[in-house]
Amino acid sequence: MAQRRLITLDAGSDHFSYRVAGVAVENGHVLLHSATHESFWTLPGGHAELGEDSATTLTREMSEEMALDVEVSQLVFVVENFFNYRGRDYHELLFIHEMSLPIGFSRARDKTVHVLKEGRNELEFRWQAADEENLSRIGLLPAFLRQRLSALPTSTEHIVWREQPGATSTP
């Protein structure tokens, strides 16, 4: 197997990454994932590899993590995301696409629909109510998504997001 060439950079205590995520909203619920040892949720996706466009990254990540062939559509957000996680400062370039899941994939609400073990970590995937109150309660990050997932933009938006000091931070 070829060595993966993820687009990340460590510079002392600082870290840069290029990440792609997918947003699937159906019947007022959004598919999210969380590492079971963390207290926050994020949109599913992963890091881009060198030479890979964002739609291809999302397709690959969903295939690897959930064995799903997703349909990737509109790029809804380009996010310059700045946060601190476990004492390190992060600068993340995040592309968020709308995606559609195959008909046979579980739409069970508010319970785990898939689990992925990655080394010592375990990722849990579940449909969560996409209203701001629920997304705030479960700690969806980046936090601007808590207000934006109930009505996605019709054209791509550029967001510069800096997590507030003391807020729960993304990895």
Q: What pLDDT score was predicted for residue 141?
A: 96
Among 146, 134, 151, which residue's Cα sits nearest to residue 170? 146
pLDDT at 118: 80
Contact 109, 130 (CB under 8 A): no
In this prediction, residue 165 carries a pLDDT of: 58
**pLDDT value at residue 14:** 93
Whether 167 shows a pLDDT value over 60: the answer reads no
Q: What is the pLDDT of residue 54?
A: 98
Interval 36-94: pLDDT, tens: 999 999 999 999 999 999 999 999 999 999 999 999 999 999 999 999 998 889 999 99
Q: How much is the pTM?
A: 0.91
126: closest CA among 107, 145, 141?
107
DSSP H or E run through 57: helix 54-66
Q: Residue 152 above 80 pLDDT?
A: yes
pLDDT tens for each residue of 2-39: 567 899 999 988 999 999 999 999 999 999 999 999 99
- Residue 46 CA to its chain's centroid (Å): 7
Nearest to 33 by CA among 147, 98, 122, 107: 122
Which pLDDT score is estimated for 169? 45
Domains of the chain as residue ranges with CATH:
8-104+112-162 (3.90.79.10)
Q: Which residue has the higher pLDDT, 165 or 77?
A: 77
Reported confidence tier of residue 171, pLDDT bands at 50, 70, 90: very low
